[in-house]
Amino acid sequence: MINFIKECRKEPEDLPASSFMLASRRRREVAMPRHRERFVIAVALFCAIYVVIGGRMAVWGAFPSDGGGYRYVPSQIMAARPDLLDRNGKVLATDIKTASLYAEPRRIVDADEAAELLLSVLPDLDPKTLHDRLSSKAGFAWLRRELTPRQQQEILKLGIPGIGFRTEKKRFYPGGPTAAHVVGLVNIDNQGIAGMEKYVDDAGYSALQSAGLAVDTDLKPVNLSLDLRVQHIVRDELAAAMQRYRSIAAGGVVLNVRTGEVLALASLPDYDPNNPVDALKKENLNRMSAGTFEMGSTFKTFTTAMALDSGLVKMTDSFDATKPIYIGGFRITDFHGKHRPLTVPEVFIYSSNIGSAKEAETVGIEGHKAFLTKMGLLTRMHTELPEVATPGQPKEWKLINSITISYGHGVMTTPLQTAVAAAALMNGGYLIPPTFLPRTEEQAAALAKQVVSKKTSDEMRYLFRLNVADDRGSGNLANIPGYKVGGKTGTANKVVGGKYSNTKKFNAFLSAFPIDNPQYVVLVVIDEPQPEPGKYYATAGMNAAPTVGAIIRRAAPLLKVKPDFGDSGKSLLVSY
């Protein structure tokens, strides 16, 4: 090192002297070439690299969206959802823009003042939490999502620094709870979590959303098969029935027998999807598709249809219902006991357990099981609605199971699939999977599967009508003039603590109208009804049947079913 320093001391003496002496200069030029070409190479290389850099910038500037590595993370909060409409174009669910309030606590000058001012507009905020949030050192904190325009305006007027609004899309359900269980709901990030909202997500919308294509574009609305007017009537009548019969729950469905479209489906108690605080409460579940029940005597519809369709039983055949059946320590009796042999129609309208058991016995256990499977009553139903329960059946079918199942105990099904199976008995024998989306008869015909013969279907229509029109039938209260209602009641004892309760009932009325050419199946279930004041019984004929009647009376004109009052009706109109 010391040598080097000495070296550099020597140097300056050489330089000035040599620079004026041509000879020494020339010698040194030879000894120390400048390597001009290397400077040229270096300059060229550097310039080339800077040109590449400039070029890259020019390309990025000219084609800003080009390139695979460029990611755009869509804000799901801002993502739009398609509107849900009913079959007539009435809005069931839509997006509205709302403002959400946030704070940037670090920018807040005076947290005490800010908290006080905000509380004057949003008094329901917790003062302590609010103050803690505002005085924290965080960069961002939500204060309140989804404000009303009035609240936003008032907060703007306060002029607090360090707070701001973010526009969010909020899902709004104009009908409130009317179609809550079918339409479903979304979470705060606008993702469908129940009902048809979830179906829309699962059917590809969420893929669209995460691909960033669902932002601010006008998405095509999705029409549902529901008719909002009928839906409202069903829910309204169910609510009235719940109150009148003091039941814990009620449910109803209106199904088009030719297309499988669900026109209305309601289950009470329900919730308001605009404020879904109790959407997840157990009693608010959709009983019609997500609840399974022993359907009781309405199941005799299927037992009778099975017996008739098997060819082993004719309408004119009789079954001895004189004595109860004793099997495996159980005694099976009739509620409306006649203690005499009953014909097939009598078994149906008197709702004879003994008769039904004997019908099932005629077909046999395997045949019974096969028939119910064919009707789709033992397997999970496939439809758009995500909330669908799987039916329950005995692990092993013995005679006692077949006998109890013949009158609706021992198999648990969802009310909706019961209605779907009944529709097959009404429409000439075609089982059509239910749908919540519009479907034409042609589309339905492609999906339909013949499960019983036309003859059986005709006979079942006769029996349905008989049960309502005949004075002896259990469904008289559903007889609405002009609409030719037919149906079957069912009053099942509920299982409480592993035993059949005598007081807790699950009532149903399974009906179709107009019975000479059925268009709609209407099923109403009433869970744990009490007798009306002044009446002793709370059987299905006393509550479910009149509820169905009320629904049909109000909804039939909207469903474009032409009333037929027969000859007397015509004369009445003329003379009026």
Name the residues annotated as catalytic.
297
**Contact call for residue 32 and other proteins (CB under 8 A):** yes
Contact status, residue 488 vs residue 524, Cβ threshold 8 Å: no
- To other proteins, the closest distance from the beta carbon of 212 in angstroms equals 14
Exactly one of 24, 88, 89, 139 binds other proteins (CB under 8 A); which one? 139
Handedness of CA 166, 169, 171, 175 (dihedral sign): positive
Q: Is 218 in the site for other proteins (CB under 8 A)?
A: no
Task: Choose which of 6, 13, 27, 50 interacts with other proteins (CB under 8 A).
Answer: 50
Helix and strand element counts for the chain (H, E): 21, 20
Does 54 help bind other proteins (rule: CB under 8 A)?
Answer: yes
Between 96 and 115, how does the x/- string for binding to other proteins read (CB under 8 A)?
Answer: ----------x---------
Question: Measuring CA to CA, which residue among 198, 188, 192, 178 is closest to residue 386?
Answer: 198
Buried b (16+ CB within 10 A) or exposed e, 542-558: bbbbbbbbbbbbbbbee
Q: Using CB under 8 A, pick the residue from 26, 398, 449, 535 that binds other proteins.
A: 26
Using the rule CB under 8 A, give the single segment among 9-17, 88-96, 308-316, 439-447 that binds other proteins: 9-17
Binds other proteins (CB under 8 A): choice among 24, 27, 39, 275 = 39
Pairing of strands 222-223, 449-450: unpaired
Q: What is the DSSP string of 192-244?
A: EEEHHHHHHIIIIIHHHHHTTTTBSS-PPPEE-S--HHHHHHHHHHHHHHHHH
First to last CA, the chain: 129
Q: Does 47 bind other proteins (CB under 8 A)?
A: yes
Nearer to other proteins, 65 or 316 (CB): 65
DSSP states of 234-277:
HHHHHHHHHHHTT-SEEEEEEEETTT-BEEEEEEES---TTSGG
Q: What is the CA radius of gyration of the chain?
A: 38
Are 332 and 351 spatial neighbours (Cβ–Cβ below 8 Å)? no
- Contact call for residue 11 and other proteins (CB under 8 A): yes
31 binds other proteins (CB under 8 A): yes
Q: Which residues have a Cβ under 8 Å from the Cβ of 67 and sit 6 or more positions away? A: none
CB of 39 to other proteins, least distance (A): 5
| Residue number, 41 or 496, with CB nearest to other proteins | 41
Burial of 49 (0-12, 13-18, 19+ CB in 10 A): exposed
Cα distances (angstroms) measured from residue 19 to each of 10, 13, 22, 23, 239: 15, 11, 7, 10, 112
Q: Considering beta carbons, is residue 202 or 216 the nearer one to other proteins? A: 216
Q: Is 498 in the site for other proteins (CB under 8 A)?
A: no
- Residue range at the interface with other proteins (CB under 8 A); choices 34-42, 381-389, 419-427, 478-486: 34-42
Q: Interface residues for other proteins in 63-82 (CB under 8 A)?
A: 64-65, 67-71
The answer to whether 19 contacts other proteins (rule: CB under 8 A) is: yes
24, 27, 38, 382: which one binds other proteins (CB under 8 A): 38
- Residue 58 touches other proteins, criterion: CB under 8 A: yes
Q: Does 159 bind other proteins (CB under 8 A)?
A: no
49 lies in the binding site for other proteins (CB under 8 A) = yes
Amino acid at position 282, single letter: K
Q: Is 27 among the residues that bind other proteins (CB under 8 A)? A: no
Q: Smaller CB distance to other proteins: residue 58 or 496?
A: 58
Asked whether position 161 contacts other proteins by CB under 8 A, the answer is no
The DSSP code for 507 is E
The residue among 327, 330, 332, 357 whose CA lies nearest residue 342 is: 357
Binding site for other proteins (CB under 8 A): 1, 4-5, 7-9, 11-12, 15-16, 19, 22, 25-26, 31-36, 38-39, 41-43, 46-47, 49-50, 52-54, 56-58, 60-61, 64-65, 67-71, 106, 137, 139
